[in-house]
Structures are given as structure tokens and as C-alpha cells.
Amino acid sequence: MKSFGIEFVPMDLYWRTTYYTIQAERLGYDSIWITDHFNNRNVYVSLTVMANYTNRIRLGPGVTNPYLVHPVMTAQSVASLDEVAPGRVICGIGAGDRTTLDMVGIEMKSPLRTVREAVEVIRRQIAREKGSYEGRVYTTSAGARFNFKVNQNIPIYIGAQGPKMLRLAGAIGDGALINASHPDDIENAVKQIRRGAEKANRKINEVDIAAYTSFSVADNEKNARKPVIPVVAYIVAGSPPSILEKHSISIDKAEQIRSDLANRRWGEAFSAVDSDMIDTFSVCGSPDQCTDKIESLFKTGITHFVTGSPLGPNIRAAINLFGEEILPYFKELS
């Protein structure tokens, strides 16, 4: 069964993002993911408003991180949200964005260990397990249990890009959010997730594997490509050298883009994004082109496709285009 999600960045007023969520649910999307960055509106306030105006669609942070937010607080937030939207809450968690963490003076130490322990702490809290937790990064005492009962198991999706984090997602995640858009990158990521699952003696079908893409759809390819440029600039700036080299993208050019973004030289950063970068780090085009690209991604072994920012030149129109011209094709195949 193929699932389809959509990401919203809570930069807009709550009512606008909630309107888009209602629109997506009516069109048949399966999941809503709200980004968690301190410089946007609060993710859980956004999700709570959305939960009150929807009935079916699953929703959660996509993704939060354990450096800015302690996993006990993440557990409290998603457990509380589950009382508003019973059985519909999902939790995406990852190491976070190094550039954003640097802005507030937080070092991304031991990301693999930190994410692993954060997932363990969140699950313990939701299950209201007795006793203390002694990890290398986090510790909790027996008295840290919630004073309220959580009625649902809340699936935890691990956002990942590097091979070790992908294997961790396969080993302990209910789902994996692959931070990539190119078929080759996603195919390699799926292989790493499988390795992680096999090593943990899990079946791969226990993990919902999602391609969390930078996506843009419009009536024609030219109109679809322009909106992804700022998003692709940030992706290039945050990509490890191994990914850049694999796709023949200049590391020096990526470093310059990173520097321009850090110094708010938007024009210079965005003008440095070329067609190869767009093709590597986004899924964009007309509805027919996007359908073909998404179909190729499902052949890699993913089970869930997420349309991430920017969605298109006009968000409302892009949601409709996807829901009316792309989604029915895949729903009919399921």
C-alpha cells in the first residue's frame, strides 16, 4: 500500500496552514508533517489547531530534534496531541540541521547515539515504564513517569541521510524519513535501511520507508523549477562531501553557497544553484513529469512519498494539482 504525505513549514499564520491541511485531507493525502525550527511558529501549536479541523489524516512533527528539545518533552507533546487526534499522531525525529543549531550555539555531538537514546526515552515515557533510564546522553529517574495514561502507541519515524543513521532507522524506527530526492540516493538509502532491519532481526515491512523530498509541481516544468531554488540551496549547503562528489557538484561551490546563506546573501546563494543541483535534490515538473519521477522512486522500495517544501509556485494550486492529477494514478494502482 502506497502512502502520500505533505510537509508544511509553519511560517504562515495558523489559519492558512490549517486550511491547506483540510484541503490535503479532502484530496486523499495520508499524512501531514510540520517542520520544527525555532525561527518558525511552534510545531505543536500548529499541529493542535490542524488536529481540531481534520478527522482522518495522520500528523506530527517532521522532524523535531533531541538537541533543542529534550526527548521527555517531545514525548509529552506527542502524547498530549494524541488526546486531540487519537490514533493519528506520528513523530518524526532526527539529528537536526547543523546550520540552525549553530545559530543558537548548540553543538551536534554524537548524533547517532543521541537519536537512538532519544527514541528509547520517548518510547519509555509513552509506555509509562517504571524505573530509571541510564544512557550516555540522557538519564531519567523513576519519578519521571507521566501522570497521565497514553492510550496509543505513537509511531516514531527517524529522519536520516547518512548510512549509519539510515541503518539505525531500519533497526529501531517504525518508519524512516529519507532526506533525499534522487532515485540513486533513495535506492542506496533503502538498502541501508534493509541492512539495519536485518541486523536487528526485523522484517523490512515493519518499517514504513518514506522519501521526504523537496517537491514542486506546476502546469509546466519551467514554473515548477523556480520555487525549488532556495530549498535546493540549503540542501546543497548542508550535504556531506560524499553526496556532492557522487553527483559531480563542486564542493567549493557548495561551500560558497553555505557562506552566502550564513551571511544572508540570498541573491548570491540562490543564483549559484544550477540545473544539475535542482535535478539532484528535488522532484519537480509538470503533473505528468512528477508522476513518472514518483513512480521511479516507488520502484526503489519506498512505501511512502512526502511532498516537501516548496510544493510549487502557489501552494494551494500545487496541493490541488497533486491531489487531482497525480494522487489518483497511484491510488488506482494500490
Identify the pLDDT of residue 128: 95
Q: What is the pLDDT of residue 151?
A: 82
Whether residue 296 lies inside any domain: the answer is yes
Q: Is residue 11 over pLDDT 80?
A: yes
- Nearest-10 Cα torsion for 11, 17, 18, 19: 150
295-324 residue pLDDT tens: 999 999 999 999 999 999 999 999 999 999
The answer to whether position 259 is within a domain reads no
pLDDT at res. 240 = 83
* Ordered DSSP codes for 122-175: HHHHHHT--S-EE-SS-EE-GGGS-SS---S---EEEEE-SHHHHHHHHHH-SE
Q: Tell whether 227 is covered by a domain.
A: no
In a domain, 265, yes or no: no
Instruction: Round the average pLDDT of the chain to a whole number and report it.
Output: 96
Domain housing 194: 3-221+284-333
Task: Say if residue 286's pLDDT is above 80.
Answer: yes
CATH of the domain at 49: 3.20.20.30
Q: Which residues pair with 91 in a beta bridge?
A: 156
Q: Is residue 63 part of a domain?
A: yes
pLDDT of 1 > 90? The answer is no
Say if 275 falls within a structural domain.
Answer: no
Number of domains comprising the chain: 1
Q: Is the pLDDT of residue 106 over 90?
A: yes
CA separation for the pair 334, 305 (Å, rounded): 14
Query: Does 263 reside within a domain?
Result: no
Q: For the chain, give the percent of residues with pLDDT over 90.
A: 91
- pLDDT over threshold 90, residue 330: yes
Mean pLDDT along residues 18-47: 97
Judge contact between 207 and 178, C-beta under 8 A: no
- Per-residue model confidence as pLDDT tens digits over 154-185: 999 999 999 999 999 999 999 999 999 999 99
The reported pLDDT for the residue numbered 334 is 63
Does residue 79 lie within any of the structural domains? yes
pLDDT surpasses 90 at 118: yes
Q: Is 144's pLDDT higher than 90? A: yes
3-state secondary structure of 201: coil
